Structure 1
Amino acid sequence: MNDSREAVLASVQAMESELAKLQVMQSEAERSMLETKEDKEVVDSRSVFVGQVDYAASPEDLQTHFQSCGNINRITIPCDKYTGFPKGYAYIEFADSSCISNALALDGSLFRGRSLKVTTKRTNIPGFTSRRIHLGRGQYYFPSPYYAPFLYYGHSPSYGYHAR
């Protein structure tokens, strides 16, 4: 009887120590997530979005086009994950946020025969989706994390009635 009781107490102590380790790991993960969110906002504040980029353009070509704006930290040209071909836009991160105004001045400039669209880079909002839900009768609802209860009741907050 005492042996089984001691075994149960030992297993409870082992579970409590595991719980303490997990709580420490969770707090570290939450702290690092907050730091990366702040870092993303800082990086995004000194970055621009460049649209209408020629599909054959390389980062070196973009660097020569934007070198007059200031020091460039990084140029990212996203590629399609299935084909591996560029998507036709790029992100340029500058060393200083004061270079953004110089880069925005290049909006509409010609690059390889195409007029570039240069705007400030927006910070991505986690959990925000661009998918739309068809409500019927030609109505669509764009779900947002702030209006999550409406997904379960089957109606849109803007129309206020069931569309089934």
Structure 2
Amino acid sequence: MGDVGTPNNEEGTRSLSPNNLDSEEILKVKAKIEEMEEEATKLRAMQSNLDEMQCELVERRGDVDSRSVFVGNVDYSASPEELQSHFQSCGRINRVTILLDRYTGTSKGYAYIEFAEPDLVPGALIMNESIFKDRPLKVVPKRTNFPGLKGHSSSSHSFRYRRRAGRSARRGADLRFAGRNHYRPY
């Protein structure tokens, strides 16, 4: 057995150590490091572009939301054209969206109306409680949803859980499984 850096057999093979690395190998490693640094720079640039595009999207969404109103208590048989004619007195309308249930395709009973200018929204808010197809409409400004924020309240969830747990306790059920549909064969 030979020491590190010395030939360990008759053919003169060398073991790798910092003292006897070929300059060619060092250049390859340096080139690989430079390539990785260039790649990291490209990735940082792509990430910053993505962040800028996301900010633009949120700003654009906020702009559209500032020109829109939420309309609740819409008759289930209403069409976008009928809603547009009802709100035509408020000004030029870009889009009327009636939300549908994804499974049945029926109306959910509310809509969004996007106007051409944000100045037209106060005129549409005056239409709150106006009668459309024998129903009073609920008209409020559209709120902007921000990515990552949940829309439900944890307090209402805990209230439901407590109520359900109390009801289960009266029936003699195990409180650890109150409100959950766990399969318990025994």
TM-score by length of 1: 0.73
> Identity of aligned pairs, percent?
49
CA distance in 1, matches of 2:119, 2:29: 64
Q: Check if 1:26 corresponds to 2:47.
A: yes
Shift of the 135–76 alpha-carbon distance from structure 1 to 2, 3 Å rule, reads closer
- Aligned pairs for 1:4-153 within 5 A: 4-129=25-150, 130=152, 132=154, 134=158, 138=162
Q: What displacement does 1:121 show?
A: 0.9
Runs of 4+ in 1 over 3 A off after TM superposition: 1-7, 133-139
Distance 1:11 1:40 in 2: 43
Deviation of 1:83 (Å): 2.9
Post-superposition offset of 1:64: 0.8
Task: Give aligned pairs, total.
Answer: 139
Secondary structure at the aligned position of 1:128 is classed as coil
For the residue of structure 1 that corresponds to 2:149, the secondary structure is coil
Mark the CA change 1:137 to 1:98 in structure 2 (over 3 Å): closer, same or farther: closer
Where does residue 155 of structure 1 map in the other structure? none
Letter in 2 for 1:16: E
Output the CA distance in 2 between the equivalents of 1:131 and 1:82: 26
CA RMSD of aligned residues (A): 2.4
Give unpaired runs (5+ residues) of structure 1. Answer: 140-164
Q: For 1:19-54, what per-residue CA distance to the aligned partner results, in whole angstroms no more than 9, with x for missing partners?
A: 111111111111111122222222211211000112
Shift of 1:3: 4.4
Inter-partner Cα distance in structure 1 for 2:85 and 2:97: 14
Shift of 1:115: 1.4
- Shift of residue 111 of structure 1? 1.4
Instruction: Give the drift of 1:131.
Output: 5.0
Structure with larger Rg: 2
- Distance, in Å, in 2 between the alignment partners of 1:14 and 1:105 is 62
CA–CA separation in structure 2 for the residues paired with 1:104 and 1:110: 13
Closer/same/farther in 2, CA of residues 9 and 39 from structure 1, 3 Å limit: same
